[in-house]
Structure 1
């Protein structure tokens, strides 16, 4: 590869993102303007694959805020990304640019993806959640001759299509792995895996309640288990409620906490990970004089997440394996189990299996965007109760499968990471001139950029004339009409000339 000016490949030239395209920002829509019909309002969450529902706008819009299928969109706040719109005609929301390239859109889309890596790297750790228009448009880019642009796009699409296909296989395998884990856990808690010991004698419901009451005291009351959709009692196992096997339950402390606090450490939702307690990211009570010893955790305690903005996190369980002088926060619920009749990891296995998860998510009350559980409703859920020996055996089998699944998911995540790195490497090679060869016969990029600059200036001139005609100032309306008739019509800008030239040759 021969080098041209300033170390660029032969025939290449430098420009900026602002010189190669026009960026039209979206319109801010107030909630009062939302409706149930009209054009869908395209927000960032509608671009990122989060399956967010649309809001709609039924009023009139300027053409510049209309989005049609095939338009190139750039989100520049919170989540930086480049997208080609594939949905119906919509209304462009703020924090999204509609990009109108002066060069071929396919080439420019890949160029934006490549440069966004650089933009994102600048924002890492800086607290920024968006980039300003000025600094974005000033980002320097290297531009190849238009014939080489065509070769780059063809090479990229060939390689990336294979990469996307492989990524799809990995994503599908991850979904199947998660489904398989749920299915196996559900089979385990239903006694369908041959783990039933015919010689083991489970306790009766009355025996379980009597044992728990001895631990708790005279004020303890039994709780009848409710029925939940999909749960069928297994004949040899009695069914008790979570309250029947818990001698105490309650909410955590509401003491104010921070990383710099001088009081006891306090567990939060992020400390509930993979069914266990993670002490890696702790906050501390700010008031060191508060006695939080009543909230300290003992071996065998289980904690449920009781409030969260995501229903999938509601009811997530963490098991305390050993006593620790750590309190727990008020958005967690602690159940203290009767260890003589139940293994805490059996309770976790039951309550996190599919039937119970669906029930917990269904009963979680929603308020102001938050989903909430309460201790009383959790205490009513049914728990099938084999003997302790069976519980341990089934939990061990489930843990073994979980480790195998985790290993498989680790391999899949590594493949996913390698795919992202390979995609970044391909883009880097493409825009450094190392993906395809240069051809000395190609028209230099400088010639193309000169035409782009001329086209942009022509478009600006047309815009200024149109703006003056739309808003006459000192002249009367009649004089303005006469002047318009007398003046020659402006020559339309060749809006698509450069785009067509790129790939029509």
Structure 2
């Protein structure tokens, strides 16, 4: 099927209605790039007070699309349901009457268009897409009813993806809730330093296309080790011994721009990597992670990891984190000072068994989400090629 095409400037207006700081009143909705997730998966705007924002912003409303022009490869593009002001690194786009807003949203988020804008961004360290380049983008323009039909199909599939992500988020809260239920009234404690034999920062060697598998911040997700993207680093024999991971080692995120991510943890298990193509190699960990190695037989690593994910554990981790240059950090000394409930091994094992059930269910949901992601990508490609 062949459709006419048009430049974005012919079917939409890129609005840059500047609002001065003194014109922004208390209760105004504000959207910065930090409030839009990569891929447009979510929008979390904030309410600001008068005088809180110090520079000019752009106005937007529920009939616009917000397009993040800074680092456009992150695809920070969303359709807001409210009015407000946004960072000037975000361009509000108002579709004309012959262009459906949701059709345009899905088009801008399609992999082909994300690659298109990424290739046309300028600036080495902070690449930006100019409004002129965005306006010149060619967009397919089927009849309006066809646009709405396509958008409806993509909306339905996207809604399924979002529900799976919501389920994953809820499942990730369960281990902490179970820990509180089982051990919330335990008052006898010990420090992690007393429980551990080694706390160590990872390798600062840069990843290359050869070497040993290395776990990084993105691999510590949902209280588990995610193997979807594994990098490799070349290490000497001495470094290999120093940074080698053993079964039961706990990995913790020690630095991040988002304080909520500091202290995020997972337990390394050989069985977890057994099916990976690099399973027979020594696995290591990167410098933004801390490896905590516990005394054998006295403590179960999954029990400690469960505590660190609980509300009580998170409270201590956040209190121990320090900020510097916009980054939150926790060091090995602060980590070792965290106090853990003293619980008998059988009770630890009972908790670990319950969490294992949750993780099995989480993996099933994750597998289903992966299938939906593949389906959605296929539908996107077909949709804008006129094959849907």
Report the counterpart of residue 252 of structure 1 in structure 2. Answer: 201
Specify the alignment match of 1:492 in structure 2: none
Question: Aligned pair 1:242/2:235, yes or no?
Answer: no
**1:94 corresponds to which of 88, 101, 105:** 88
From 3, 7, 15, the equivalent of 1:16 is 7
User: How high is the TM-score relative to the length of structure 2?
Assistant: 0.69
Q: Is the 8 A contact 2:18 2:56 kept in 1?
A: no
The one of 232, 235, 247 equivalent to 2:185 is 232
Match of 1:44 in 2: 33
Q: What are the ranges of 5 or more consecutive residues in structure 1 without an aligned counterpart?
A: 1-6, 191-230, 436-505
Contact 1:185 1:398 in 2 (8 A): no
Structure 1 pair 275–68 and aligned structure 2 pair: CA distance change class (3 A): closer
Q: Which residue matches 1:309? A: 257
Output one character per residue of 1:228-268: Cα deviation in whole Å (capped at 9) or x when no partner: xxx4217xxx643323322x334336x65123499988764
SS of equivalent to 2:259:
coil
User: Which residue is 2:100 aligned to?
Assistant: 107
Residues 1:428 and 2:384 are matched in the alignment: yes
Q: Which residue of 1 aligns with 2:275?
A: none
Show the counterpart of 1:120: 114
Q: Does 1:372 align with 2:329?
A: yes
CA contact (8 A) 1:341 1:388 kept: yes
**Root-mean-square deviation (CA), in Å?**
4.6
* Preserved contact between residue 72 and residue 85 of structure 1 (Cα < 8 Å): yes
Query: How far apart are residue 114 of structure 1 and its match?
Result: 2.5
Q: TM-score, normalised by structure 1?
A: 0.56
Gaps of 5+ in 2: 271-279
Offset, 1:419 = 5.1
Q: 2:77–2:108: 8 Å Cα contact kept in structure 1?
A: no
Residues 1:365 and 1:153: Cα distance change in structure 2 (over 3 Å) = same
Give the whole-Å Cα distance in 2 for the aligned partners of 1:123 and 1:179.
Answer: 37
Q: Which residue of 2 aligns with 1:440?
A: none
- The verdict on how the C-alpha distance between 1:329 and 1:419 changes in structure 2, with shifts beyond 3 A counting, is closer
Alignment of 1:485-500 (within 5 A): none
Indicate if the aligned counterparts of 1:37 and 1:58 stay in contact, CA closer than 8 A: no
Distance 1:381 1:180, change over 3 A: same
* Number of aligned residue pairs: 362
Shift of 1:370: 1.7
**Does the aligned pair in 1 maintain the 2:29–2:46 contact within 8 Å?**
no
Report the CA distance shift for 1:140/1:409 in structure 2 as closer, same or farther (over 3 A): closer
Say if 2:256 and 2:327, in contact at 8 Å, map to a contact too.
yes
Deviations 1:336-357 (A, max 9, x none): 3221422333322333334323
With 345-354 and 270-279 compared, the bigger mean Cα shift is at 270-279
Q: Deviations over 1:75-129 (max 9, x none)?
A: 3332446544443443x5434334355x406536524642652322435799985
Pairing partner for 2:68 from 75, 94, 118: 75
Is the Cα–Cα contact under 8 Å of residues 215 and 286 in structure 2 kept in the other structure? yes
Range that drifts further, 323-332 or 66-75:
323-332
1:398 equivalent among 345, 355, 360 = 355
Deviation at 1:416, TM superposition (A): 5.7
Partner of 2:230: 280
Question: 2:316: which partner in 1?
Answer: 359
**Residue 367 of structure 2 is aligned to residue 410 of structure 1:** yes
For residues 326-379 of structure 1, what are the alpha-carbon distances to aligned partners after superposition, in whole Å with 9 as ceiling and x for unaligned?
665554434332214223333223333343234323432233222222333333
Question: In the alignment, is the contact (CA less than 8 A) between 1:245 and 1:337 conserved in 2?
Answer: yes
What is the DSSP-based 3-state SS (H/G/I as helix, E as strand, rest coil) of the residue aligned with 2:44?
coil
- Cα distance in 1 between the residues matched to 2:150 and 2:310: 43
Contact 1:296–1:324 (CA under 8 A) maintained in structure 2: no
- Write the distance in 1 (CA, Å) between the matches of 2:347 and 2:55: 65
Partner of residue 471, structure 1? none
Which SS does the other structure have where 2:307 is aligned? helix
SS at match of 1:312: helix
